[in-house]
Amino acid sequence: MKIIKKITALSVIIGFLISCNKSDKADGYGNFEATEITISAENNGKLLQFDIEEGATLEKDQFIGYVDTLALYLKKEQLRVSKMVIGSKSKGVLSQINVLNAQLKTATTNKNRVENLINENAGTQKQLDDVLGEIDVIKNRIRSVEIQNAPVVNELKSTDIQIQQIQDLIAKSKIINPIKGTVLTKYAEPNEITTFGKPLYKIANLQTMQLRVYVSETQLPTLKIGQKVTVKIDGEDTMKSYDGIISWIASEAEFTPKIIQTKEERVALVYAVKVDVSNDGSLKIGMPAEMWVQ
């Protein structure tokens, strides 16, 4: 009889624990996601080097490869030669301007000397007028030469701008990884012809994953940004737990409700919540998980 009583009591306890476990539900269900960035080509040409593999971890500003820049280099050299030819045309004009500037400097010195003589009653107004007239003549000649040289100067400026544009395209031919992360998908291979805007690979930072869960309207008052929660995923024997922090709460419901709602229908409204979780390598994009409010 004692054994039967013990078995009966044990059965009651086990039944109570099972019933409690069944009623114990998570506060939210969802899937892990990460911010994925697609890196595209910024220039046209053959992909001469492209050293990445799917699953590889890349550092920020890491050199990945480059697009063929031979045509751009030849164009740049052609522009440099054109600039030298244009510059040789303007050398004679520029030398004239240098001579006139030297004459203007001498005339200005003479003007100051005559003004000092007049102040000491040792000079005449005619001497000052002659010097001022000479200065005006030199300035007019400088303006005339500058006008004649304006087309050449503008052509030089235009050539410089074209060289800078080519240099920018050459720089963009290098493929530099923008963020630290893991390569999710590789879209191109070396020696393929690529074009501007063509995707090369997709990368995401998997060190911190975001669990997007959906909660009911009645749960919103108990949640806030920065709040610590527990995130659980399926394990071999038991669920594995992680520490998480709520980083975002949607301001609008995911599904549009009816105009007239009963109290029961309002519970059907769900709001998205993002939880940041540090990844130990086990968390993957799309993996289901549960959120438990501590």
Same domain, 86 and 228: no
Same domain, 51 and 181: yes
Please say which residue of 172, 192, 218 terminates a domain: 172
Q: Say what the pLDDT of residue 126 is.
A: 83
In the numeric block, the tokens 């004009």 are attached to: 93
Angstrom CA distances, 242 to 32, 33, 181, 182, 255, stand at: 13, 15, 21, 21, 29
Tens-place pLDDT, residues 256-278:
455 444 445 555 678 899 999 99
Q: Say what the pLDDT of residue 268 is.
A: 67
Q: What's the domain count of the chain?
A: 2
Q: What is the pTM of this model?
A: 0.66
| CA atoms of 190 and 203, how far apart (whole Å) | 18
Same domain, 46 and 100: no
Same domain, 189 and 252: yes
Torsion of CA 18, 244, 213, 179, to 10 degrees: -150
| CA atoms of 184 and 201, how far apart (whole Å) | 8
Residue 1 lies in a domain: no
Residues in the chain where the model's pLDDT stays below 50? 1-23, 256, 259-263
Same domain, 206 and 155: no
Same domain, 168 and 192: no
Q: Say what the pLDDT of residue 290 is.
A: 93
Q: Say what the pLDDT of residue 91 is.
A: 66
Same domain, 292 and 180: yes
Residue 3 lies in a domain: no
Q: Say what the pLDDT of residue 293 is.
A: 92
Same domain, 122 and 260: no
Q: Say what the pLDDT of residue 265 is.
A: 52
Same domain, 283 and 181: yes
Residue 125 lies in a domain: yes
Question: 112 is in which domain, residue-wise?
Answer: 70-172
Contacts 24+ apart (CB under 8 A), 70-79: 71/45, 72/166, 72/169, 72/170, 72/173, 73/170, 75/166, 76/163, 76/166, 76/167, 76/170, 79/159, 79/162, 79/163, 79/166
Contacts 24+ apart (CB under 8 A), 87-90: 87/156, 89/152, 90/149, 90/152, 90/153, 90/156
Tens-place pLDDT, residues 45-95:
999 999 999 999 999 999 999 999 999 999 999 999 998 888 777 666 667
Same domain, 54 and 102: no
